[in-house]
Amino acid sequence: MKKTPSMWRERVSEIDQAEPTESSRERRRKRSSRQHGPLTVNLAPMIDMTFLLLIFFLVTTTFERAEGILASKVPSDGQASSVALPLSPILVRLSQTGPSHDDFFIHVEGIDESPASFEELSKVLKGLQSQPGFDHTTPVVILAGPDVLWDHIVGCWNAAVGAGCTKVAFGEK
């Protein structure tokens, strides 16, 4: 039987409709790779996982100080002496009691007796420094009323400095 061109066409259409052979699969794969470009690996999920792991390890890691770095001072005799530190500074109040230059009043809070002069104020402040919890670094605040003469404020300052106080400040009454 002689094969005509129409028979060849029929045979080719039968082959196309039948299951593809290995060679036609390879041709299709080559054709599709040319159309879509080369195959690549998507790195975004891998980078996301890397950063998630990095954050996890940073959060869960604990850093401890090495022993012996922090110095501590423990009493050597076994008895710890505790001295109550003053919670507030020493307050010295100055008030003008009359129009005269000598009409003023000095009062140190926490002391029953009020000093009559600046020399007595200096002695009172020195006496306070010898008490437990007070020393020369305890702040002294001078509270003067608006009508107090400047000379009295300076006299109070000089008495505090003369007593050895290193932290003297002014406040408002």
pLDDT in tens, 17-27: 655 555 666 76
* pLDDT number for residue 99: 82
* pLDDT number for residue 164: 87
Mean pLDDT for 158-171 is: 86
Give exposure, 73-82, as e/b (b: 16+ Cβ within 10 Å): eeeeeeeeee
* pLDDT number for residue 83: 59
The DSSP code sequence of 30-51 is: HHHHHHH-S-----HHHHHHHH
> Domain for residue 130, yes or no?
yes
> Domain for residue 162, yes or no?
yes
Mean pLDDT for 32-41 is: 68
Mean pLDDT for 145-162 is: 87
> Domain for residue 118, yes or no?
yes
Return d(Cα 153, Cα 149) in angstroms, integer.
7
> Domain for residue 147, yes or no?
yes
β-bridge mates for residue 105, sequence order:
95
What's the number of domains the chain is made of?
1
* pLDDT number for residue 38: 72
> Domain for residue 79, yes or no?
no
> Domain for residue 44, yes or no?
no
pTM for the whole structure: 0.49
Q: How crowded is residue 166: how many other Cβ atoms within 10 Å of its Cβ?
A: 12
* pLDDT number for residue 113: 81
Range(s) of the domain holding residue 127: 90-172
> Domain for residue 58, yes or no?
no
Return d(Cα 123, Cα 87) in angstroms, integer.
22
Structure tokens at 139: 């702040």
The DSSP code sequence of 83-102 is: -PPPSSPEEEEEEE-SSSTT
pLDDT in tens, 45-93: 999 999 999 999 999 988 776 665 555 566 666 565 665 555 578 888 8
Helix axes 118-129, 150-162, angle to 10 degrees: 40
Q: Band the pLDDT of 12: cuts 50, 70, 90.
A: low
- Using alpha carbons, select from 92, 96, 124 the residue that is nearest to residue 109: 92
The CATH number given to whatever domain includes residue 155 is 3.30.420
pLDDT in tens, 95-143: 888 888 778 888 888 787 888 888 888 888 888 888 877 787 888 888 8
